[in-house]
Structure 1
């Protein structure tokens, strides 16, 4: 087997992912990105590299539809074998569709989930299946289908690694886009674009096509080449930025606002903490809590852990008694003024900000609500100018928290 420098085949953007897999720090890696981002190339390389380190381990590679395997992941795995110099030791067949690494007998097996019975019936004479790669993750039915496969295939071995790669769909509500935002022990999420790929690996034609689309259709460019969740034209917040907010940033936040939306069940009680940079007109949301079937005294204690004693919490005025309870429990709680037109005005104020920055790790539910919030549509699918009163608990908490700012500006 020839020796190859990995920095010649793995792009720098993926070095942290490669290191985490090699050290055994990642059980699951979600690779999202646009065209030319090398997510599938990296996944195929990591499958082989992991197999070479673990000679008792086998791999399963999946797509939703079986007849797409040969020209996609099967060809991709053969490419990776060639790049790594192990093609002379690979026996490849298409019926059954598999690649055998002849030095150890390890297999890479390919299946489509349009015939799920084949996956459930996998039996290995020697070793175990420790690696599963789901390509085009968003094309699968949803997290339950993925979970069922993992539970069926990843059994009996001391090691497991799941790779999930896809181009993010435009709609924020797509289950795969939601899945990326979910925190889970051992899970790493990575986003890459062609801009993080060495230009000599792409070729001038690719770069020219990307530049042309950027100039002629910026939204399509952002979706196809940058892998951004651009929405279907009905999203309310075009100024949303889902990005980490560091501890150092939070230490320097000096204009803090807190908001509460009351709830019990099925609607939750929601709390948010944020900073507003008035000069730059940027809102930073860095704290959230959410509970169901929890009494006011308990939620008041949760809030008190977040705030200083002299801070104000603005809450929904629809429950005056709850606001009274908070004051009795030592929280400086004021009722939101609300009134005719307050929802529309506060929403437009939020939409008019330069940016709404939400840390998706610190505030996953808030990030999801803002990303998925869309205008209501007619029966023909045409968007209206109405804001739906559903799945907006943290949005309401943010509106209440910022009321003192947007009302002042509206006068």
Structure 2
């Protein structure tokens, strides 16, 4: 294989290439806009990786089986040609696979229309060292990916899983939310790329002209399609969210912890939150959650006391006076939130007006999910409705309750007259 890698790998991927060669990570989330060459990069890496390890095989997946042949199958054949090793590989259409002739190693292609039916593949030699999810945003959620990985990621060392995608427009899309959490895993690399680092001769003059035209005519669409930037749909309720690790040292300096509780039902989760409001800077730090359905009252109280050993006051949903009484009887100091007309809208608006809502996605994954995915619904004509949806908002409600004193203090200046 006498080929200069700089002729097939764009400069933005050089560091990723070295990380793969040095086995630094097990998971690579590669996001980018049109022409970023992320798929070309992965295909080259898989071919080179298999040819250098006689036990390495590859499984390449897309959500819909019918899309495999015209996309990833052709992409792998492109990589083989670019590396000048076509004489060493045999391509088959039935079944869809590519075989490395010297050893019998295989690249197999799978549709994941039914993730639970994607089974581990048996290879004549070795194991599935390389797994590639192309257009991972086509999958419905991360649970589908986990289900498949549990079947495929087994049987050998240094398994490397690639996830390639163009970021969906909405920050609330599951893959955009998931990647924010993946950044905190030590075994994971999240990488962004776009066409601007790719040699122009690879893309062609027409591609560059189209990109530049869109940049001038519709800058926001250009940012999303060509730069891979999450520009939003306009339906997001909270645009002031920051997901990052909140350190123990930071928490130790928080001088007034606020606590809120949204009660759950049989299918609905109970949600308990602890947060700190930095009034001077307009910042809210959320760093504790209990989010669980089916908890009995005694179990819930015991869990809450683990985070609140001094039994400081908690503000809960006043629509549940009997549950509040039972929690008090079990030794928890809890009072009902002072609700009133317009309290939900006012509370959400108050949270929207904060300079920043900082959520620790490791400590509070459900809080991060609900806040980032909370969107105003649309009617049948695609127009935004004028109300906030009352679903998947347990952490938001609990947060509103915990901060009612601050919200009511601000509201007295206006029209809410002490109501939350």
- Same fold at TM > 0.5: yes
d(CA) in 1 for partners of 2:325 and 2:199? 65
After the TM superposition, which of the residue ranges 59-68 and 341-350 deviates more from structure 2?
Answer: 59-68
- Return closer, same or farther for 1:254/1:325 CA change in 2, 3 Å cut-off: same
d(CA) in 1 for partners of 2:63 and 2:296? 45
- Return closer, same or farther for 1:156/1:301 CA change in 2, 3 Å cut-off: closer
- Return closer, same or farther for 1:265/1:76 CA change in 2, 3 Å cut-off: same
3-state DSSP of counterpart to 1:77: helix
Shift, 1:74, TM fit: 4.0
Residues 372-411 of structure 1: pairs in structure 2 closer than 5 A:
372-411=373-412
1:77 aligns with 2:100: no
8 Å CA contact 2:106, 2:123 repeated in 1: no
d(CA) in 1 for partners of 2:359 and 2:209? 33
- Return closer, same or farther for 1:240/1:115 CA change in 2, 3 Å cut-off: closer
3-state DSSP of counterpart to 1:369: helix
Shift, 1:372, TM fit: 1.8
**C-alpha offsets along residues 138-186 of structure 1, whole Å, 9 cap, x if unaligned?**
2246667656755666676566443222123234565544654677999
8 Å CA contact 2:129, 2:156 repeated in 1: yes
- Return closer, same or farther for 1:32/1:365 CA change in 2, 3 Å cut-off: farther
d(CA) in 1 for partners of 2:49 and 2:333? 55
Shift, 1:408, TM fit: 0.9
TM-score, normalised with respect to structure 1: 0.78
Equivalent residue for 2:91, pick from 68, 90, 93: 93
Shift, 1:95, TM fit: 3.7
Residues 279-290 of structure 1: pairs in structure 2 closer than 5 A:
279-290=280-291
Give the match for residue 194 of structure 2.
194
**C-alpha offsets along residues 105-150 of structure 1, whole Å, 9 cap, x if unaligned?**
423334556799x987965433333322121122246667656755
Shift, 1:235, TM fit: 2.2
3-state DSSP of counterpart to 2:188: strand
TM-score, normalised with respect to structure 2: 0.76
**C-alpha offsets along residues 37-90 of structure 1, whole Å, 9 cap, x if unaligned?**
55434433442354245311211223345665566434543565577x563664
Give the match for residue 63 of structure 1.
62
d(CA) in 1 for partners of 2:37 and 2:130? 19
Give the match for residue 43 of structure 2.
44
After the TM superposition, which of the residue ranges 265-274 and 297-306 deviates more from structure 2?
Answer: 297-306
- Return closer, same or farther for 1:342/1:141 CA change in 2, 3 Å cut-off: closer
8 Å CA contact 1:309, 1:331 repeated in 2: no
Taking only aligned residues, the RMSD between alpha carbons, in angstroms, comes to 4.3
- Return closer, same or farther for 1:203/1:379 CA change in 2, 3 Å cut-off: closer
d(CA) in 1 for partners of 2:90 and 2:316? 64
d(CA) in 2 for partners of 1:224 and 1:109? 30
Structure 2 gaps, min length 5: 413-420
Give the match for residue 170 of structure 1.
169
Shift, 1:394, TM fit: 0.4
After the TM superposition, which of the residue ranges 270-279 and 240-249 deviates more from structure 2?
Answer: 240-249
Give the match for residue 418 of structure 2.
none
Give the match for residue 246 of structure 2.
245
Residues 86-235 of structure 1: pairs in structure 2 closer than 5 A:
87=85, 90-91=88-89, 93=91, 95=93, 98-110=97-109, 124-140=123-139, 160-171=159-170, 174=173, 176-177=175-176, 180=179, 188=188, 190-194=190-194, 198=197, 217=218, 219-235=220-236
8 Å CA contact 1:36, 1:193 repeated in 2: no
Shift, 1:397, TM fit: 0.7
d(CA) in 2 for partners of 1:33 and 1:169? 10
3-state DSSP of counterpart to 1:367: helix
Give the match for residue 301 of structure 1.
302
8 Å CA contact 1:35, 1:193 repeated in 2: no
- Return closer, same or farther for 1:216/1:298 CA change in 2, 3 Å cut-off: farther
8 Å CA contact 2:287, 2:359 repeated in 1: yes
d(CA) in 1 for partners of 2:290 and 2:271? 6
8 Å CA contact 2:24, 2:187 repeated in 1: no
3-state DSSP of counterpart to 2:318: coil
3-state DSSP of counterpart to 2:162: strand
The count of aligned residue pairs is 407
8 Å CA contact 1:89, 1:101 repeated in 2: no
